[in-house]
Amino acid sequence: MSRDFIDKVKRYAPFSAVETREFWLSVLILAFTLSWNQWGTVEFDVWVGLANLFIAGVMAWIILSIHHFAQRLWGIRQGLKVEHKIWWYGAGIAFVTTILSRGQFAILGLTGTFISALDVHRLGRYRYGPQVKDFAIIALMGPVANIVLAGIVKSIEVYTPIPLPSEIVNQFFVASLAFAAWNLLPIPPLDGSRIVFASRVLYLFVAGCVLGYIFLLSQGVYSWLWAIALGLLSVSIFYFWLERSWG
């Protein structure tokens, strides 16, 4: 890692004051959503609920942190400034939906990614300003980071003798995948909207990989390679059956 990159990380990676407030609000909403139906088994128990809220808060902090900083670091590498803001409509819908469904249905699309050029760091680049493909790759880094971290944690729990609490690992695993999947929806300002605007093929590949991975998990198969194969299959079906007929 070069000194130049390290210097840029120190200067541009930290959240601004506004981003910090909105980040912690997002953590709180996500924790609330993940733990709403965990306030006791037979009857309401405030201490059990607070403990589960705390655990959900730690999970939410990890999920949002890895998501946002993966995007910020990739953006800095490309000479671009990445900012994260809470999506107020999504946060409000998530809050209301959680209450009305009693925690049985969770909406996890809470934040948006906004990208601008770091002028001095874009000098000499072809097409000085940020391009749609730059937006897409930066947006993609967030869900990918969530899925990779979830897979690593689950693999450690399944394939190594390291003792990890299975229930918490499973909750984190499911929450990370669900967060990545929600953020891949092609709805502005979620990450999926950045990807689909840049390339329908790339979007279908990514969506096919994620949905394929979730399907494989339901069958007890933990394999990124098979998930990638299903992503390629979805692209092939789209191109040969739909794209060519439209063209």
Q: Which residues on adjacent β-strands are paired with residue 95? A: none
Tally of CB atoms within 10 A around 42 = 5
CA trace torsion 155, 159, 164, 166 (10° rounding): 80
Domain end, chosen from 106, 122, 142, is at 142
Q: Which residues on adjacent β-strands are paired with residue 85? A: 112
Looking at the fold, whether 19 and 136 belong to one and the same domain comes out as yes
133 Cβ partners below 8 Å, 6+ apart?
198, 199
Could you give the residue ranges of the DSSP H alpha helices within 36-87? 46-77
Q: What is the pLDDT of residue 59?
A: 95
Looking at the fold, whether 117 and 206 belong to one and the same domain comes out as no
Please give the residue range of the domain that contains residue 234. Answer: 199-247
50 Cβ partners below 8 Å, 6+ apart?
none
Looking at the fold, whether 24 and 100 belong to one and the same domain comes out as yes
Report the run of H or E that residue 225 belongs to, with start and end. helix 224-237
Are 215 and 230 in contact, with CB atoms under 8 Å apart?
yes
Rounded CA-CA distance 146/166 in Å is 19
- Based on the structure, what is the number of domains in the chain? 2
Amino acid at 202: L
Rounded CA-CA distance 148/192 in Å is 18
205 within some domain: yes
178 Cβ partners below 8 Å, 6+ apart?
106, 108
178 within some domain: no
Looking at the fold, whether 217 and 121 belong to one and the same domain comes out as no
Domain end, chosen from 142, 173, 208, is at 142
Residue 105, CB-side half-sphere exposure with 13 Å CA sphere: 7
154 within some domain: no
Looking at the fold, whether 137 and 234 belong to one and the same domain comes out as no
Domain end, chosen from 142, 157, 185, is at 142
CA dist list (Å): 213 to 30, 54, 61, 66, 114: 23, 29, 24, 20, 28
Q: What is the pLDDT of residue 245?
A: 52
Looking at the fold, whether 99 and 205 belong to one and the same domain comes out as no
Looking at the fold, whether 221 and 111 belong to one and the same domain comes out as no
Return per-residue pLDDT of the chain as tens, 247 residues: 577 778 788 888 889 899 999 999 999 999 999 988 887 666 667 778 888 899 999 999 999 999 999 999 998 888 888 899 999 998 889 888 888 887 788 888 889 888 877 766 656 565 666 678 888 999 999 999 998 898 888 888 877 777 777 888 889 998 999 999 999 999 988 999 989 888 888 888 888 888 888 888 777 777 778 888 888 888 887 777 665 555 5
Is beta strand 80-86 parallel, antiparallel or unpaired with respect to 111-117? Answer: antiparallel
Looking at the fold, whether 18 and 119 belong to one and the same domain comes out as yes
Are 60 and 31 in contact, with CB atoms under 8 Å apart?
yes
For the chain, the distance separating the N- and C-terminal CA atoms, rounded to the nearest angstrom, is: 44
Q: What is the pLDDT of residue 210?
A: 85
Q: What is the pLDDT of residue 18?
A: 93
Tokens of 43: 């009857």
63 within some domain: yes
DSSP 90-118: HHHHHHHHHHHTTTSS-----EEEEEEE-
Q: For helices 17-35 and 166-183, what crossing angle results, to 10°?
A: 120
